[in-house]
């Protein structure tokens, strides 16, 4: 492969990748920009082209758009033409830049040897029913500079799992490279590891020790210069395998991770009742000032999320510790309300604030079925900004402790700087808003925010 270049740059990183592709027929790899992502697929196909000289084969190349797949195939053709080891390889379609159809001459009976082909496809518009010995998937979520619509991202993730993987014949290969857009992308899916050899390879291994993953190409000093020129967020997207949406999150991942207390237990209602029998004053047992809860009520397509906190400090110096959280997937409003009623009783919740923007609990309130603990909050741009800003204060000052739950974490960091959230199978930023609702001081300050004069 190196003979296709005038000045090929190798190194330990390239040697390691050669072994990686040689040892694994199902791979999923993220790495930095210009760090041998597409080139690794080019090299693999050129190896296949030589290896399958006598048997042939039909292979498929996928990108987000078919035009990009054709571009990659054109690059492979150029590399083949420049490589002296492929002089005997004959191009059946020399004028077709976006399609490969090669064969290695003729047998002893002057019959042409089988063709080895590579056809381009766009992920959202390819013909179903293809079956082949191998597929390449190159940047299926597009370049990080082009932020995709969340609905399209979810569709691409679904296509990868439900359609593309079934195309590969038994014993065949599938190699994926690209850049993630969200933490929910298939690249991070734990199920991928059951089939794929997954590699996440940011360009910088250690800032402290100034170690780059491919120093022969870009050393730490060069990468750091690019970071200073482009800014941390863009650099992280392009070189550090950080999802595009994650770099636009309202809270940084590390900020929330620092709040997670792995020793906290997500207490269940029955366990809590057993630990603190009804004949004992539960607040005294908890040694807290108050217990608060928040309920973000989801639409039909999204779950609701319920969060309960105890204040282990005082009202002047509060410190909120999460004692219970629950995602309510597909629950009707009656079931949600009944669960909250039980939680109020068992956790001795003083106030349960819920999102009343769409009035899902309005009929319960009109019938007098909501206890005095329930308090509605109507979301508006002002209330949302106020809640987020005040929650940020507690996060920065480490005045909140969270239960270690990956789904809750994902939905907190899913909210971006505009307080928007991309929908995913896990939710729609639900835990972010339930926590905002649960913290009492936040709500009191939000109301002051709502009532402030215009231009204040």
Residue 56 lies in a domain: yes
**Distance between CA atoms of 180 and 176, rounded to whole angstroms?**
12
The answer on 143 and 15 residing in a single domain is yes
Per DSSP, the three-state class of 173 is strand
Q: Tell me, yes or no, whether 262 lies in a domain.
A: yes
Claim to verify: residue 227 and residue 259 sit in the same structural domain: no
Within a domain: residue 319? yes
242, 381: one domain: no
What is the Cα–Cα distance from 392 to 398, expressed in whole angstroms? 10
> pLDDT by residue (tens digit) across 300-322?
668 999 999 999 988 788 899 99
Same domain, 280 and 185: no
What phi and psi, each to the nearest 5 degrees, are found at residue 118?
-140, 115
Same domain, 177 and 238: yes
Shared domain for 331 and 393, answered yes or no, is yes
Q: What angle do CA 15, 18, 23 make, to 5 degrees?
A: 130
**What's the confidence (pLDDT) of residue 301?**
66
Q: Is 5 helix (H, G, I), strand (E, B) or coil?
A: coil
- What is the pLDDT, as a whole number, of residue 286? 44
* Residue 455, pLDDT score: 47
Last residue of a domain, one of 200, 221, 247: 247
Q: Between 66-82 and 37-51, two packed helices, what is the crossing angle to 10 degrees?
A: 60
Closest Cα partner for 142 from 87, 179, 116? 179
Sort residue 63 into left (φ over 0), alpha (ψ -120 to 50) or beta. beta
Q: Is residue 455 part of a domain?
A: no
Q: What is the pLDDT of residue 276?
A: 45
pLDDT digit string, tens, across residues 66-82: 999 999 999 999 999 99
Q: Are 205 and 269 contained in the same domain?
A: no
Per-residue pLDDT, 161: 83
Same domain, yes or no: 224 and 312: no
Looking up residue 380, the CATH number of its domain turns out to be 3.30.420.240
Distance CA 61, CA 438 (A): 49
pLDDT of residue 424: 64
Question: Helices (DSSP H) in 240-371: which residue ranges?
Answer: 253-257, 269-275, 282-286, 333-347, 362-366
Q: How many domains does the chain have?
A: 2
Assign residue 88 the CATH number of its domain: 3.40.50.300
Domain-terminating residue out of 199, 226, 247:
247
CA pseudo-torsion sign 335, 294, 298, 263 = negative
* pLDDT (0 to 100) of residue 425: 62
Clarify whether residues 164 and 287 are in a common domain: no
Q: How far is CA 339 from CA 332, 335, 347, 377, in A?
A: 11, 6, 12, 19
In terms of Cα–Cα distance, which of 168, 223, 177 is closest to 199? 177
Residue 351 is assigned to a structural domain of this protein: yes
Domain check: are 21 and 131 in the same one? yes
Do residues 14 and 36 make contact, with C-beta atoms less than 8 angstroms apart? yes
The residue from 247, 264, 279 where one domain ends is: 247
Residue 312, domain extent: 253-450
Same domain, 240 and 310: no
- pTM here is 0.64
Residues 24 and 171 reside in one and the same domain: yes
Q: Tens place of pLDDT for every residue, the chain, 456 residues?
A: 999 999 999 999 999 999 999 999 999 999 999 999 999 999 999 999 999 999 999 999 999 989 999 999 999 999 999 999 999 999 999 988 899 999 999 999 999 999 999 999 998 887 777 899 999 999 998 754 556 666 777 788 888 888 888 899 999 999 999 988 776 678 877 778 889 999 999 999 998 889 999 999 999 999 999 999 988 878 888 899 877 766 678 888 788 989 999 899 999 886 544 444 454 434 444 444 589 999 999 876 689 999 999 999 887 888 999 999 999 998 999 999 999 999 999 999 999 999 999 999 999 999 999 999 999 999 999 999 989 988 999 999 999 999 998 889 888 988 888 888 866 667 788 999 999 999 875 444 444 444 444 544
Here the tokens at position 330 are: 């597909």
- Which residues neighbour 165 within 8 Å (Cβ) at sequence distance 6 or greater? 174, 195
Question: Which of 260, 295, 318 is closest to 444 using CA atoms?
Answer: 318
**Alpha carbon distances (Å) from 255 to 135, 307, 318:** 39, 19, 19
């Amino acid at each position: 492969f190196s003979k296709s270049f005038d000045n090929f740059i190798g190194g330990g990183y390239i040697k390691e990748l050669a072994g990686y592709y040689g040892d694994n027929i199902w791979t999923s790899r993220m790495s930095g920009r210009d760090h041998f992502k597409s080139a690794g697929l080019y090299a693999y196909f050129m190896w296949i082209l030589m290896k399958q000289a006598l048997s042939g084969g039909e292979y498929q190349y996928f990108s987000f758009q078919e035009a990009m797949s054709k571009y990659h195939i054109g690059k492979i053709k150029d590399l083949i033409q420049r490589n002296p080891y492929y002089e005997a390889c004959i191009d059946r379609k020399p004028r077709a830049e976006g399609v490969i159809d090669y064969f290695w001459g003729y047998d002893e009976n002057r019959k042409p040897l089988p063709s080895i082909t590579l056809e381009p496809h766009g992920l959202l518009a390819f013909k179903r029913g293809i079956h082949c010995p191998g597929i390449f998937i190159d940047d299926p979520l597009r370049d990080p500079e082009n932020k995709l619509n969340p609905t399209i991202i979810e569709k691409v993730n679904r296509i990868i799992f439900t359609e593309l993987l079934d195309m590969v014949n038994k014993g065949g290969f599938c190699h994926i490279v690209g850049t993630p857009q969200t933490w929910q992308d298939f690249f991070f899916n734990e199920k991928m590891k059951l089939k794929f050899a997954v590699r996440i390879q940011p360009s910088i291994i250690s800032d402290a020790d100034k170690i780059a993953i491919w120093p022969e190409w870009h050393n730490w000093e060069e990468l750091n210069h690019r970071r200073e020129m482009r800014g941390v967020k863009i650099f992280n997207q392009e070189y550090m395998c950080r999802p595009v949406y994650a770099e636009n999150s309202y809270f940084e991942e590390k900020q929330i991770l620092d709040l997670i207390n792995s020793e906290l237990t997500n207490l269940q209602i029955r366990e809590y009742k057993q630990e603190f029998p009804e004949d004992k004053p539960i607040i005294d047992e908890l040694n807290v000032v108050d217990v608060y809860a928040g309920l973000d009520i989801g639409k039909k397509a999204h779950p609701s999320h319920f969060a309960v906190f105890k204040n282990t400090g005082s009202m002047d110096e509060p410190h909120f510790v999460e004692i219970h959280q629950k995602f309510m997937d597909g629950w009707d409003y009656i079931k949600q309300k009944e669960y909250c009623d039980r939680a109020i009783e068992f956790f001795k919740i003083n106030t349960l604030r819920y999102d009343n923007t769409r009035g899902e609990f309005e009929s319960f309130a009109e019938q007098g079925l909501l206890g005095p603990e329930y308090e509605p909050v109507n979301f508006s741009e002002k209330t949302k900004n106020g809640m987020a800003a005040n929650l940020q204060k507690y996060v920065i000052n480490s005045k909140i402790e969270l239960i270690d739950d990956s789904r809750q974490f994902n939905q907190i960091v899913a909210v971006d700087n505009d307080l928007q959230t991309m929908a995913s199978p896990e939710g729609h930023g639900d835990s972010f808003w339930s926590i905002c609702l649960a913290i009492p001081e936040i709500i009191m300050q939000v109301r002051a925010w709502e009532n402030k004069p215009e231009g204040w």
